[in-house]
Amino acid sequence: MKAAHAKIAADYDQTVADVIELTEIPAPPFKETARGQRMLEKFKALGLTDVHVDAVGNVIGTRPGKDRVAKALMVAAHLDTVFPPDVAIKVRREGDTLHAPGIGDTTVTLAALLAFVRAMDAAKLQTPRDIIFVANVGEEGQGDLRGVRHLFSASPLKPRIGDFISFDGSTVGRVTNGGVGSRRYRVAFKGPGGHSYGAFGLVNPMVAMAGTVSAMYKIVPPTDVKTTFAASTIAGGTSVNSIPNLILAEFDMRSASPANLKALETQFLKLIDDNVAAENAARDTRYGKISAVPELIGDRPAGTTPAADPLVTTAARILTAGGYSSELGASSTDSNIPISLGIPAITLSAGGGGFRAHALDEYISVERSAFVKGITTAFDIVVAAASIKR
C-alpha cells in the first residue's frame, strides 16, 4: 500500500492531465461515444483484461484478483455530463483551480479510476477479488441510469457482481448508501384549440395543466423520509392569439422511501384526472374535450444499503481515519440500481473538492496535497472493498 500511495502522489501531474483531456471531450447525454472511446484506449493501455464496450456504450475492463470465482467488486464512474452539444468545453486553469462544465460531475472520477489502476500495478498489488472497472453511460437526467441499469439487467456480467462502488464528484467525505428514487413524467394536455377571441369559452389544456401544478403544490409531503416534487418544464401553444391544442409539462418526484414515492405518484396521477375533468365541466366542449396523457420518462428505484453492511462500514472507517466526516446520506446516483436489487452499493467521491456542479462555471480544486489525499483515500476504500468476503 505504501508503494501504491507513492505512485498516486508521483502521478499527480498525470492524473490532472487526464482530468483535463477527458473533460475537453464532450459527452452530452446519449452522446458519450467519443469520451468512451478514449477511456477504452486508456483501459487497454493500462493492461486491464477483457476491455470492451458493451451493448449500450459502457466501457469495461477487469483487473483480475486472486480468486477468479468469487463475486467481483465493480467500480464505476459515469461518462456523461448534463451539458448539450452546443456548450463549448475548454478547461481553464487558475492556480490550483480547474474550471469547465462537467469537470467535477464527474470527469475527475474517470481520471481517478485510471490512477487506481496505475497505483495497483506499480505496487504489484493483487486484490482477493476481481475489480471490474466501468466508465458508464447514461447517469444524468433522462439517461435515467441506463448504463448501470443494463449492467444489472441484460449484461452477462450481472451474476459476477458482488459489490458496487460508484464514484461521482470530487468532494470526499460522504458515503451515499441511500438511493433517492424518482418518478418523472411528461404530461401531454390536449384540446381542440381555437382563436383566442373567436373561440373564447372553449376548453383550454393550459387551464388543466395549471390546475394540476397548483394542486400538486398543495400536497403536504411526508416527513419521515424526505419526499419532494417539482413542476419542471413547460412547452406548447401555437401563438399568443390562440387557445392551445397541446401543452407539454414535465414533473419530477423523489424520495428514498419507495412507499412514499408510490403514494406521491398516485396522488399526482389523480390530480391530472381531476383537473382535466374540472376543465371539461367548466367550459365549452363542442369541438372536443381536454385529455391528458402522462408519459413516464424517468424511473429511478429507491432503497438503502444498510449502515451495518461491510461495504458501508469499510468506507466509513477509512474516511474517518483520513480525517473526513464519513457521514451517511442519500442521493440519486448510479448506485440506485444495485441498491434496489439488494446488492451492496455505495457512491463516493474522489479528488480535492468540487463546486457548482451542473453549472457553466463548474470547477474543482487540484491543490496538490488535498487532491492526492482525496484520490488516495478513495483508492484505499476500493482496495479494502475488494477484500470483503461475500
pLDDT per position as a tens digit, 241-257: 999 999 999 999 999 99
Asked whether the beta carbons of 5 and 116 are under 8 A apart, the reply is no
Closest to 247 (Cα-Cα) out of 223, 275, 224: 275
Q: What is the pTM of this model?
A: 0.92
Q: In this model, does residue 306 exceed pLDDT 90?
A: yes
d(CA 387, CA 69) in angstroms, rounded, equals: 14
d(CA 26, CA 122) in angstroms, rounded, equals: 31
19-45 core/surface letters (b: 16 or more CB in 10 A; e: else)? bbbbbbbbbbbebbeebbebbbebbee
268-302 pLDDT per residue, tens: 999 999 999 999 999 999 999 999 999 999 999 99
Number of H helices and number of E strands within the chain? 10, 19
Q: Which residue has the cell 447517469?
A: 139
What per-residue confidence (pLDDT) applies to 367? Answer: 98
What per-residue confidence (pLDDT) applies to 38? Answer: 98
Q: In this model, does residue 151 exceed pLDDT 90?
A: yes
Closest to 29 (Cα-Cα) out of 56, 4, 8: 56
What per-residue confidence (pLDDT) applies to 275? Answer: 98
Q: In this model, does residue 13 exceed pLDDT 90?
A: yes
Longest dimension (CA), the chain: 80
Reported as type and span, the H/E element at residue 110 is helix 108-122
Stretch 37-53: mean pLDDT: 98
317-348 pLDDT per residue, tens: 999 999 999 999 999 999 999 999 999 999 99
What per-residue confidence (pLDDT) applies to 142? Answer: 85
* C-alpha cell of residue 355: 463546486
**For the chain, which domains are there?**
2-180+302-385 (3.40.630.10), 182-300 (3.30.70.360)
* C-alpha distances in Å from residue 377, one per residue of 76, 148, 190, 337: 16, 24, 54, 25
344-364 pLDDT per residue, tens: 999 999 999 999 999 999 999
Residue 374 CB contacts under 8 Å (≥ 6 apart), including other chains: 170, 172, 349, 350, 351, 352, 353
88-146 pLDDT per residue, tens: 999 999 999 999 999 999 999 999 999 999 999 999 999 999 999 999 999 998 899 99
Asked whether the beta carbons of 378 and 173 are under 8 A apart, the reply is no
pLDDT class of 68 with cuts at 50, 70, 90: very high
* C-alpha distances in Å from residue 322, one per residue of 28, 190, 194, 376: 35, 57, 66, 10
Q: In this model, does residue 224 exceed pLDDT 90?
A: yes
State residue 65 phi and psi, 5-degree precision: -100, -175
pLDDT class of 37 with cuts at 50, 70, 90: very high
CB atoms inside a 10 Å sphere around CB 380? 21
Share the mean pLDDT of the chain. Answer: 97
Asked whether the beta carbons of 188 and 246 are under 8 A apart, the reply is yes
